[in-house]
Structure 1
Amino acid sequence: MGGEQVAVIRKPGITTTMKTMISFGQTHMTSLRTTGWGLNKQKQDILDTVSHIFSGKLPLEYLMGFAEDYTKGILNVKQELILIIARSFKNSYIGEVDADLEINKIEWKIKHIMPEDRQKLKLLNRINRSNTNAKIKLAYRMWDLYELPSLRETASDIRAIKTTNSLERPRYIFVGFQHTDNFNERSKDASKFIHADVNNIRLYLNSEVYPYERWNLDFDKKLDSPAYYAYEQFQRSYFDRDMSEPMLAIGDFRENCLFIIDCCHQPDAMKTSTVDIKLEFETRKTKFPANTRVYALIIHDACLTYSALDGSVQTGAA
């Protein structure tokens, strides 16, 4: 099972779109408008049509697994936020004419707890007594986006994504397909995903295969319930909820597909070995549509080791 190796990429737009579609439901749509979600339909809510100025908020938990999972306080640490702006804004809006977007102001708001001197001294004394290095492990789930080469125009294709260690084992993988001609075109929606006539998607973690049973999808005949069920059940599994509230009904899902593979349950042997991650794609047609780009969003275990005395941070569980 060979394939081209791909590198991790940082595209917050794609990552945020995929994460929002799978993490939130219809009851969240009102609050999501202030982040820009659905702005093309409800632009009058936050966009001043005279000055063409709008403002919004974007919680870091929408972008970073650490901000979503780790909710405890951190003592004596310096935090920095680095933003890299894309060369073109054409993927940020849909319109008939070119538009220029200008960022006037960005505010980063983080909750701070300022203990009085007596309480602060108690905290420092407790850290000194607990461990000479005072190292604290911060465990969370990281979201990494990978862009795979375009699918070959064949009936099946397989791609190697990465080789990872046992400490960063994948828990979920989300697969999205897009036409390459949707990018840098102001008249097309760069946030839409297609089903690409997919029949089956198989995830290989070494010799383990997920899902165990083939989906045997056929979108032309609306035989797509296995894929929708995986999408629908994600919130119950990931957030440990009693009920799921998917954002997309099954009809909308067919027009904007995200394929979710749950690989949380892994054999014990995989816990102590490196893991090769590969994806296999099959179609009922003679070949996949031309110029089909593939994105794989992986949720995997991650851990930071933080020293409260000097504020240093190291990746890994050591």
Structure 2
Amino acid sequence: MDLLNVTSEPFSDNSVEDYQFHTYQPYIPGNLNYNDEIRIPIQDLDTFTAPCNSYLYIEGKLMKSDGTVATKLQFINNGIAFLFRELRYELNGIVVDSVRNVGLVSTIKNYLSYNENESVLLQNAGWFPNKSANQKILVDASGNFNVCIPLKLLMGFFEDFRKVIINMKQELVLIRSSNDNDAITSLDDTEIPKIDIQKLYWKVPHVTVSIQEQLRLNKTINKNVELPIKFRSWELIEYPSLSSTTRHTWPVKTTTKVETPRHVIVAFQNDRKNRITTDMSKFDHCDLKNIRIFLNSERYPYNDLFIDFENNKYATLFEMYANFQESYYSNKTNQPIFNPTDFKLHAPLAHIDCSRQKETLQTGSIVMRIEFETERPTSANTTAYCLILHERHFTYNPLTKIVKQY
């Protein structure tokens, strides 16, 4: 027992001597308008950086299209993420991870990942999952706002890869959306939103290590070895308009064994896109009755769900949602952000865990399809989203600067 180990010495880790955030700006600082590509490079090849703990600092102003102060417009939950339609992380010019439709992807993923206590801290990033309809968030009376968004909220690479990057050029690429309608909500459409982003910085930790650790890392570099980068990527596939029927078969994609889906989250929205009178951070149950996915011939889940939202019979679906943290993060205790009532109102998501798979799925290609049933024929402009969480494997060589994907 440690209690009786009286000769032990106090533990002190001095391997990291300094840990400071450095600010990186876009190539063209003023290039922050609609549809602009915003590139933020890290050219310091002699530094050790920890991109996993990096964040975006964004400062701007919410106003009407004529430049005057908006009185009715307000940000939705995670609204700042909806200002960007694509996010990419590049290592020496090679795309390591990317996310399209950044706002929707991060909202769906984080509804499963974070609990209520963590959400209090993340309010600084614009994360307000339980905000009321009339609650104005982020902006002051003049419409000014500023946020710090940890990149682990937006992309799988930053969440999973918890090591320093050595001697490599890095770039963060953001592409702004064509308008701000999905980031904003209002009681009516009398005010057209315009969000002016005035500052956008990438804050990245620089790590200074002890002499002993420096020598060890230099030996690793000089050995000309490939260092692994493993993480789980987030990929969103959209079914823009469901047919008006109660039975749907959706052939989602064909993939290789390396990118076999491990978790699948299916969400529905009824006529919310590009309309400021609706909230894009909320989802609809669309009278879902049953859902299953097939990876080749393997079915998940094995049993039918027998969901009935009209009569509040969705306990099985909520249990699947609540078990995400234990399966994905190996948490001992699940702490879902929503209770069953709020789950139905705000985010009735179908999480399907397919992380445990037979050997037959580990060879060859994987054909994925989704089958689901609804109590009534789906209405016009109903969109289905499928968020696939799958593994990716890269290596990089800090000596030759070569990046490879496996």
Structure 1 length normalisation: TM-score? 0.89
Q: Aligned pair 1:32/2:115, yes or no?
A: no
Q: State the SS of the aligned residue for 2:344.
A: helix
Distance (whole Å) between structure 2 residues aligned to residue 177 and residue 126 of structure 1 = 48
Instruction: Say what the alpha-carbon RMSD is for the aligned residues.
Output: 2.0
Q: Which amino acid aligns with 2:281?
A: S
Cα distance, 1:124 vs structure 2: 2.6
- Are residue 314 (structure 1) and residue 404 (structure 2) matched? yes
CA distance in 2, matches of 1:274, 1:155: 30
1:168 and 1:224 map into 2 onto residues whose CA distance is 31
Q: 1:140-151, aligned counterparts within 5 Å? A: 140-151=231-242
Consecutive unaligned residues of structure 2, counting only runs of 5 or more, are: 1-97
Matched, 1:103 2:197: yes
| 8 Å Cα contact 2:106/2:155 also seen in 1 | no
**1:9/1:147 contact within 8 Å kept:** no
Q: What SS class does the counterpart of residue 15 from structure 1 fall into?
A: helix
What do the CA deviations read for 1:64-96 (whole angstroms, capped 9, x no partner)? 111111101121011111111111101111124
Q: Which one of 215, 220, 225 corresponds to residue 126 of structure 1?
A: 220
Unaligned runs of 5+ in 1: 1-7
CA distance in structure 1 between the partners assigned to 2:221 and 2:118 by the alignment:
40
* Percent of pairs with identical residues: 34
1:243 aligned partner, one-letter code: T
Does residue 137 (structure 1) correspond to residue 228 (structure 2)? The answer is: yes
Matched, 1:152 2:152: no
What is the CA deviation profile of residues 178-219 of structure 1, one whole-angstrom value per residue up to 9, with x for unaligned ones? Answer: 01x312221211111111111111100000000001101011
**Residues 110 and 43 (structure 1), Cα distance of their counterparts in 2 relative to 1, 3 Å cut:** farther
- Structure 1 residues 92 and 118 mapped into 2: Cα distance closer, same or farther (>3 Å)? same
Letter in 2 for 1:141: R
1:42-85: CA deviation from partner (whole Å, max 9, x where unpaired): 96664221x32111111111111111111011210111111111
* Higher helix residue share: 1
Question: Residues 9 and 146 of structure 1 are in contact (CA less than 8 Å); yes or no, is this contact kept in structure 2?
Answer: no
1:4 corresponds in structure 2 to: none
SS state of the match for residue 215, structure 1?
A: coil
* Number of residue pairs matched by the alignment: 303
C-alpha separation in 2, matches of 1:118 and 1:261: 46
1:228 correspondence with 2:318: yes
Partner Cα distance (1:118, 1:237) in 2: 38
Deviation at 1:246, TM superposition (A): 0.8
Deviations 1:84-127 (A, max 9, x none): 11111011111242221000111111111234788645523333
Structure 1 window deviating more from structure 2 (150-159 vs 203-212): it is 150-159
Instruction: Give the secondary-structure state (helix, strand or coil) at the position aligned to 1:55.
Output: strand
Farther off after superposition, 288-297 or 207-216: 288-297
Equivalent residue in structure 2 for 1:81, among 172, 182, 193? 172
Structure 2 letter corresponding to 1:244: N
Whether 1:163 aligns to 2:254 is: yes
Secondary structure at 2:332's aligned position in 1? Answer: coil
Match status 1:258 vs 2:258: no
Residue in structure 1 matched with residue 289 of structure 2 by the alignment? 199
Alpha-carbon offset, residue 264 of structure 1:
0.7
C-alpha contact (below 8 Å) 2:156/2:231 kept by paired residues? yes
TM-score normalized by the length of structure 2: 0.71
**Partner of 2:145: helix, strand, or coil?**
coil
Change (3 A) 1:225 1:141: same
Q: What code does the residue aligned with 1:108 have?
A: W
Q: Which amino acid aligns with 1:239?
A: Y
Mapped contact 2:99–2:155 kept (Cα < 8 A): no
Secondary structure of 1:106's aligned partner: strand
Residues 214-268 of structure 1 deviation map (CA, whole Å, 9 limit, x = unaligned): 1010111111011000001111111111111111111111112111000011101
